[in-house]
Every structure is written in C-alpha cells, then in structure tokens.
Chains A and B, each alone.
Chain A
Amino acid sequence: MVEVDSSSLSSDTLFGVEEMEINFGPQHPATHGVLRLKLKVDGERIVDCYPVIGYLHRGTEKLFELHPFFQNVPHTDRLDYVAAATNNLAYVGAVEKLLGLVVPPRASYIRTLLSELQRISSHLIWLATHAIDIGAMTPFFYTFREREIVLDLFEEYCGARLTLNCMRPGGQPYDLPVGWVERCAEFIEDFPGKIDEYEGLLTENRIWKKRTVGIGILTPEVALEYGVTGPMLRGSGIQLDVRKAMPYEMYDQVDFDVPVFYNCDTYDRYLVRIEEMRQSVRIVLQCLEKLPEGPIMGKRPRVLKAPKEGDVYHAVEAPKGEIGFYIVGDGTPNPHRCRVRPPSLYNIQVLPEMVVGGLIADLIAVIGTTDIVLGEVDR
C-alpha cells in the first residue's frame, strides 16, 4: 500500500524527513465502508488528505426517476442503511408536500416514534464502531444488546429490521401491533440506565478522553462554510436542528432540548450524541403517552401524480444531520428528478480540514466521529 518514490531514496533522506503518500482504504474496516483517502504523511503527521468517494455508487437518483412515487420508498432505505426510518420520512414528506397530501395525527405520531427509535439505534451503532475504532471493545457489546431490542421493535412493526420501508405517502402502512406500545415503553424506561452504563465506561475514562479531547477540531465558521449539519454542527456550538427550527410531523407537540457543546472536538461530538439519545427517550415517552386513536392513512388518489410543474424540498433531521429530498414533478406518476441531500456527503467533505496537521491514529477517531455511511455519500 505504501508508495515511495525510490529515486528520492538517497542516503541523505532515508532517515530524514520524507513525505510519503499512503492509500487509506477503500477496503479498510476503520473507514466505515468504502471511503478512500489519499494521505500525504510526514512520519506520523498528516500533511495532506484527499478523500475519494464513489465506490458504492448505485445510481439511486436515476432509479428514482424510473419508478412511481410509491415504489421509491424502498430505495430510500438503502441510502443510510442504518437509519432507514428517517430516510423514509424525508422522502414521503417531500412527496406529500408536492401532492398536497395530509397525514392523520396517529400516523404522524407513529412516524415521530419510529424516527426517534431510529435515532437511538443509529447512535448506538455509531458509539459501538467509534469506540471499537479507538480501541474500547466493551461498549460494542453493551450497545448492540440494546440495539437488538430496538430492531426487534421495528421487526414487530413492519417485518424488517434494517431496510424498514415503513412509511407511505399519505400515512402509515400498518397500525401498531397489539402490545407494541407496552413493550416499547418497557424498553425506553430502562434505556436511560443503559446510557449511564455506556457513560460509565467512557465519559470519564482517561484513555477515552486522551484519544478524543482536542482531537479533530472543527470550528463553527468552517463547519458552516462546508454545510455541515447534525451532531457535527451542534458539537461546534451552533444550535441548528431541523426538528426545532422547522418542525415537521409532531415535533412541535413534544418537549425536548437540542444539546449543544462548544469545544468543537471529538469528545464534544460524543457528548452531543449521548445527550441526543436521552432527548430521544423523552420524545418517545411523550409520543407513547399522547398517541391518539384514529385512522393511519389520509385520503389519497389511487395513482399519485405530481402537478405538471412544480418542485419541492423537504428536509428532516436524520441521526447524521439534515437529509433532504428535492423532487421535481412533471404530471406523471414518476418524479422527473429526485435529488437526495445526504448529510454524510457534506460531513465527510470537511474531513481534510479536521485531520491535516494531526496524527494518523487520530484520523481514525475523526472518521469515527463524523459518523458517515457510504451508502448515502455515494448513493
């Protein structure tokens, strides 16, 4: 993997300072998928970093144009494949905006519930992989224990564990199964104690703090310049959360806080996500309490046809940041153009700003903290 220009290897420079180009990825477990980085290193220090993406490009946006609005929901599952519910929500929200569909409140509450459970499960997988990258093995087993229960709840609701396909334009495909609310409440009431367990392992851990505090600094100015969103932005002291700024579904009916931390480093981004899980618990509890009776599907035509001319953009707060869909209609049942605004694409674009000047070992921590999923970076 190491490419060294042999012509420059004279006795003068062999043990001196020599810049070296290293190819990092795409088949490397620490890149969380198929991210490739062209690194220029000076010893252990990174001098330059050039991310190369596209190894998982599947032409999803082309596929969207080929299928009717209904059939596109499963494609969205495969963008950020560890947070399918929020992808579904952004897509169906955009279609509903374009066609003027109205969702009944029960369906809206179920959507809010599902997306918050999804946020918990996505943050759990982030914590597991991030910790294992840095060298802490134990949190992996703890978080996967709880993630399993969340996936079981999803399975009970829609039959799938990861690629949920659990929303439709106009409402929800299924009502909650008998006993689901009780089982969900049972899990969610226990969950804050479980978060304390993770925090007990990591938050005040000396090794963890040494590996994360002051690493991968992302200043608020740089973050805004690059269009960074989600926990990355909130770890840099900017309070932007689509759930609060432009509430969708039932987020204006529930009470929750948006955690913001100001040190701009990997440790603060860890704290943001931990606190977000606690806030998700609050939202889920309120949703379970307020869940109204009633229909789960609004009135909609048999064939969903977009207006002749018109385009909408709808965004929701996914676990990774703002995911948005820009849909252009042309009077047919298919979208003329359907663009995904993936949070991970913008969050990974800023990577060189965070790692240049740091050590290779810290690069691993920084990739972990950006929480990317290449499925949505490459689409």
Chain B
Amino acid sequence: MSEREDDKPQEGHPNGAQPTPEAPDETKADAPAVAEADSEEAAKAKAEAEAKAKAAAAKAKALAEAEAAREPWERDPVAPEWQEAEGDALAEALKKSFGEGVTAARTFAGELVFDIDLRAIQEVGRSLKEHHGFALLVDICGAHYPDREEAPFEVVYHLYNLEQARRIRLKVGIQEGVEVPTVVDVWKGANWPEREIYDMYGVRFAGHPDMTRILMWEGFNGHPLRKDFPVEGIDTGAAIYPEFYGEEAGPVAGTGTGWKPPKPSEEEPAPEEA
C-alpha cells in the first residue's frame, strides 16, 4: 500500500494555503490608533479570516481526497446509525395489517428492526411465519435496561427467511412483572429460549407449557443477567435451602457486597499490529 504518498497531503499543504503570519498585525497595533487605520485593520482582519476559511476548506478537501484514495480498511471506521425503514415492503405490509401493533420499523447496520407491542407479538409472529416466509426462529433473548423507565426489559426475537435469505429482529419492551405471550404455539423452538429468559431475567411467558428454570437450578434465588445482580454471585446455601437458612440469611439479588468491576482504562496498549 502506498502509505507514504497518502500521508503527504496531510502533513504539508501542497496548495500553499497556510495561515498568513501574524507578525505584521502586531506592528500595526503598536502604531497610534487612527480611524483610518482601524478600518484598514478591519478589512485586513476580514481578508485574513477569509484566507483562513479558504485554507481550512482546502485542507478539509485535501483530507477528504486523501481519505477517498485510501483503501476501505485504512479509513477511519464509521459506526452505523439508525434509520427509518421507509419504502420497505415488509415494513409497509406489517404496519398496514397491524397498525398500532407495530410501533416502529427502523434499520441499523442494514438490519431491519421492528418494535412490536406486547399484545400483538403472537399475531405478528404467526403472520410473519405463515405469510412472509419467516419459517426459522433463529433466537429469542432478553435484555435489561435499568435506565429505561417505561420498558426496563426487552425480549428480542431474531427471525430468518429462507427464500429471501433475510434476517429481521422484533423487539418487545416490557415493564417489570409483565407477562409476555409465548410464541411456542408459533415456533416450537421458542420453548427453551423463553425458559432461559425467565431464568436469567425473571420475565415470565404467559401460556408457556413448562415455565421453569433451565440453566440455574430449581430453587435458585435471583435472576443472574439482571444488571443489579452481583457479579460475584450470591450465597447459594441460602438460595438452595431457604427453610434451613431463614429468610434473612445471605444476600439476595441486588444487595451484593458492593464490589464493582474496575473501570476500563482509556490507556490501552497499542494494537499488536507491527
């Protein structure tokens, strides 16, 4: 790669658009203040500002050109942004048939994301499976956002369409303690992931055939992936034998020892690349 050639325009300014030296200005300031001199100075300042703006523009242009000449992996990474999904056939169709049930349709990094109302999730899922070809339920997972007051918990569905080779994501935001209608009737594979969300977040699914813990043991006290669950864990003795330890024994979720992970430092070692 021609790195040296690319670097040149950044360092010096080939079109000579460097800021004008400040020295003459200072000598002027020393001279006795006359009205004419003032206006002259103002004109000069204006010209200088224009020159500066020109120089800055030229510099930005040169930088942009240099950036465009680089290979994609040599450019500064640009993080994706949220965009409204306008003109997408699937988004239009879903909004048309469910109205209020689909609260938002957006894209991020090229992935279509729907915000679905809690009450509509079963119908939306069934419609996507039967009429839009999303036969494969890839995954269901939960997420906890303690800062969001109106919907601290989220259930996220990933669907896949085999004919179009297309993925979409459905999100259902819920309050603590609200039950989500299960989609086991739509995709049987939803059984275990929904149990896992209950286990990890305490979100229950209404109509689920077997709403029990799956990864933690039965009788465990707490939901480990909640943000307020202590990382170092809880006193499992108290969790397993509540009748033996009594209610007050051992910390429960949210009242850990107060240990917090060290803040990641800004000073990280340089990348291993030579």
Instruction: Say if the beta carbon of A74 comes within 8 Å of chain B.
Output: no
Chain A residues with CB under 8 Å of B167's CB are 246, 313, 315
The residue in B73, B192, B271, B272 that gathers the most chain A C-beta atoms within 10 A of its C-beta is: B73
Option from B141, B145, B271 in Cβ contact (under 8 Å) with A300: B271
- Are B231 and A298 interface neighbours, CB within 8 A? no
**B75 to chain A: which residues have CB within 8 Å?**
102, 299
What separation, in Å, do the CA atoms of A159 and B135 have in the docked complex? Answer: 42
User: Are A238 and B162 within 8 A (Cβ)?
Assistant: yes
| Chain A neighbourhood of B74, CB < 8 A | 298-299
Residues of B within 8 A of A322 (CB): 138
In the complex, chain B residues 42-97 whose Cβ is within 8 Å of any chain A Cβ: 71-82
| Chain A proximity of B214: nearest CB distance (Å) | 6
One of B31-39, B183-191, B235-243, B244-252 contacting the partner: B183-191
Closest B residue by C-beta to A346: B189
Within 8 Å of chain A (Cβ to Cβ): is B5? no
For residue B45, give the distance in angstroms from its CB to the closest CB of chain A.
38
**A333 on interface, CB distance cutoff 8 Å:** yes
Nearest Cβ distance between residue A214 and chain B, in whole angstroms?
Answer: 23
Query: Which bracket fits the contact residues of B?
Result: 35 or more
User: Could you mark each residue 140-151 of chain A with 1 if its beta carbon is under 8 Å from any beta carbon of chain B, else 0?
Assistant: 000000000000
Known contacts A310-B82, A324-B139, A341-B158; decide if A246 and B165 are in contact (CB<8 Å).
yes
> Chain B 157-178 against A: per-residue CB contact (8 Å), 1 yes, 0 no?
0100010010101000000000
- Give residues of chain A (324-352) contacting chain B, Cβ–Cβ below 8 Å: 324, 326, 328, 332-334, 336-337, 339, 341, 345-346, 349-350
- A171 and B138 alpha carbons, distance in the complex (Å): 27
In whole Å, how far is A330's beta carbon from the nearest beta carbon of chain B?
9
Query: Quick check: is B109 within 8 A (CB to CB) of the other chain?
Result: yes
Q: A54 with B71: in contact, given A98-B109, A297-B271 (CB under 8 Å)?
A: no
Does A101 lie within 8 Å of B139, measured CB to CB? no
Instruction: Report yes or no: B270 in contact with A302, Cβ–Cβ below 8 A.
Output: yes
Q: With a CB–CB cut-off of 8 A, which chain B residues contact A173?
A: 272
Decide yes or no: A303 and B266 within 8 Å by CB, A61-B225, A224-B136, A324-B158 being known contacts: yes
Question: Would A299 and B165 be within 8 Å (CB), given that A324-B158, A328-B143 are in contact?
Answer: no
The number of chain A residues touching the other chain, given as a range, is: 35 or more
Number of A-B pairs, beta carbon distance below 8 Å: 157
Given contacts A168-B272, A225-B189, A295-B73, contact A54 B138 (CB under 8 A): no
The reply on A68 being an interface residue by CB < 8 A is yes
CB distance from A35 to the nearest CB of B (A): 13
Neighbouring B residues of A350 by C-beta, 8 Å: 189
- Which residues from B are CB-within-8-Å of A62? 224-225, 229, 231
User: Does A265 have its Cβ within 8 Å of any Cβ on chain B?
Assistant: no
Give the Cβ gap from A316 to chain B, nearest Cβ, in Å.
13
Once the chains bind, are A334 and B189 in contact (CB under 8 Å)? no
Besides the contacts A100-B77, A168-B272, A326-B139, what 11 more A-B pairs have beta carbons closer than 8 Å? A62-B229, A97-B109, A98-B80, A102-B72, A227-B136, A227-B187, A246-B167, A296-B273, A297-B271, A299-B74, A313-B169
**Can you list 8 A-B contacts (CB < 8 A)?**
A57-B216, A62-B224, A62-B229, A225-B189, A245-B162, A299-B77, A336-B143, A378-B215
